[in-house]
Amino acid sequence: MISDIKESALQEKIPIIQDGGLLFLLGLIVENEYKEILELGTAVAYSAINMALLDDEIHIDTIEKDDRMYEQAVRNIEEQGLSDQIKVYHMPIEEFRTDKMYDLIFVDAAKAQYGKYLEQFIGNLKDDGKMVFDNMIFHGMIYETERIGSRNLRNLVKKIRLFRENMQNDERFDIMLFDNIGDGILLLSRRKDET
């Protein structure tokens, strides 16, 4: 059951989307009747399985580089009978290329790379599609960056802040930031010409 996947992920400290973020994502898919989804960062396929269970016409391509995560993800997908709907690509995101166009791109992998992922995949987003970025408040740490003891962690959180700022100033996109949903969600769409 999907609740067992969540339980064992939490026990093993595998990072999965928080309940609020998941509800937001599922609501967006239902409301817009999205069918073609790309996910960056599968982990054990908890979010992918939740999205696929919404409708059997939904197809998800999801990318995971870690061997152990990939194997567990494939097992979980098989056990849910969703192998026709979810394809896990076992590779670094940086190496994934496709001509396919997606309704929704859910970004949930290396937080320091969000700007790069955006440029890598924006060409695969349909005109009316949306991108969703998770962990935009990073456990609340973006509010107290200077108090973070570890230099690596501080640098990571600074990169997330910079990404937020860049997105707020990028005239190609309309964005909405939801700091109060899950671990913080950024919703992005292409800005339409005002003609």
**Beta carbon nearer to ligand SAM, 34 or 46:** 46
Question: Does residue 65 bind ligand SAM (CB under 6 A)?
Answer: yes
Residues 6+ apart with CB under 8 A from 57: 35
Q: Whole-number minimum distance, CB 76 to ligand SAM, in Å?
A: 10
CB-closest chain residue to ligand SAM: 41
| Nearest alpha-carbon partner for 183 in 145, 147, 148, 132 | 132
Question: Does residue 182 bind ligand SAM (CB under 6 A)?
Answer: no
Distance of CA 32 to the CA centre of its chain: 17
Question: Does residue 108 bind ligand SAM (CB under 6 A)?
Answer: yes
DSSP letter at 79?
H
Conformation bin of residue 2: beta by default, left when phi > 0, alpha when psi is -120 to 50? alpha
Question: Does residue 186 bind ligand SAM (CB under 6 A)?
Answer: no
Q: How many CA atoms lie within 13 A of 112 on its CB side?
A: 7
Q: Which stretch binds ligand SAM (CB under 6 A): 53-61, 80-88, 91-99, 175-183?
A: 91-99
Q: Which stretch binds ligand SAM (CB under 6 A): 63-71, 142-150, 162-170, 171-179?
A: 63-71
Question: Does residue 93 bind ligand SAM (CB under 6 A)?
Answer: yes
User: E strands along the chain, which residues?
Assistant: 36-40, 59-64, 86-90, 102-107, 125-133, 173-178, 185-190
**Beta carbon nearer to ligand SAM, 107 or 167:** 107
Q: Whole-number minimum distance, CB 127 to ligand SAM, in Å?
A: 25
Applying CB under 6 A, which of residues 69, 74, 105, 186 lies at the interface with ligand SAM?
Answer: 69
| Nearest alpha-carbon partner for 77 in 48, 57, 55 | 48
Residues 6+ apart with CB under 8 A from 112: 155, 156, 159, 160
Applying CB under 6 A, which of residues 29, 47, 85, 130 lies at the interface with ligand SAM?
Answer: 47
Residues that bind ligand SAM (CB under 6 A): 15-17, 41, 43, 46-47, 63-66, 69, 92-94, 108-110
